[in-house]
Structure 1
Amino acid sequence: MESLLGVVELVGLVVIGLATSFAMAQEGWKIAGLGEVSITDLLLMFLYLEILAMVVRYLRLGQLPVRFPLYIAMVSLARDLILRFNDATEFHLLALCAGIVMLACGVLILRYGQSRFPSEDDQEAGHAE
């Protein structure tokens, strides 16, 4: 049963990696067709790279730091902030900024905790990221 779940997990990661690569290629094709690049396009490409980095790290080491999804969430909020800047209310903009700050504080707390109180898994991985 455990090996079946391992295979399902591997297939899922491969599907996520391929889908992300396809989405990244689509975005690149769109940018090439338009002949111009916006900051939101770059942030979207960065999101795709972070997802691929997450998949690769999980395939390589079999573990995933909680920070990776937090980074993705921060970039997503920043992208939303840029996209909706002209149409958003002050409360919406403030909420997005507060969300980014809270996520950044979470990353800082996790990094501090990891360096101050390293686990055996962290020492074996050599903090490779």
Structure 2
Amino acid sequence: MHHHADTIGNLLVEGFHYLGLFVIGGMIAWASVVAFLDMLTSGHASVDDILLLFIYLELGAMVGIYFKTNHLPIRFLLYVAITALTRYLIGDISHHPKPDAGLLYLCGGIFLLALSVLAVRFASYKYPSSKPIDALGKVVNKTNSDL
């Protein structure tokens, strides 16, 4: 009975997982098309608009990687955050020509996120994951005969 309940539970979780990924991916595609059509109707694209499209691209890539590998790379979240802060920074500078302390905070935030990317990349290079994971997201136990 436990085996059947476990099987049904895994099936439901996998179904919800794929449904959620398709919904998120569809929403990202829809939002990017709407943003692109807004750019077309306005007759121009600003740097803010282009950075917004980059954010959608990075989110879409993150969903695609998560769909294929069942792992969410933290670097992509950091890239999205850097791009979002950069977009906000450009918008702030274009609307407020006189710099203030907010400019330093935004630049400091971008710098800290860039350092975080560096730390994550170094850690993944220096200490790679040694636990292989199968398609269902379960850790594969290697025996001595597999080595």
TM-score (norm 1): 0.88
Instruction: Give the whole-Å Cα distance in 1 for the aligned partners of 2:66 and 2:33.
Output: 22
* Aligned 1:1-129 pairs, distance under 5 A: 1-85=9-93, 86-87=95-96, 90-120=100-130
Larger helix percent: 1
Identity %: 36
Instruction: Give the whole-Å Cα distance in 2 for the aligned partners of 1:105 and 1:83.
Output: 23
Name the SS of the counterpart of 1:120 in structure 2. Answer: coil
Structure 1, unpaired ranges of 5+: 125-129
Structure 2, unpaired ranges of 5+: 1-8, 135-147
1:28–1:83: structure 2 CA closer, same or farther, 3 Å change rule? same
Higher relative contact order (CA 8 A, sep 6+): 1
How many correspondences in the alignment? 123
Shift of residue 65, structure 1, vs aligned partner: 1.2
Q: 1:127 maps to what in 2?
A: none
Deviations 1:19-76 (A, max 9, x none): 1101110111111111111100000000000000000001111111111100000000
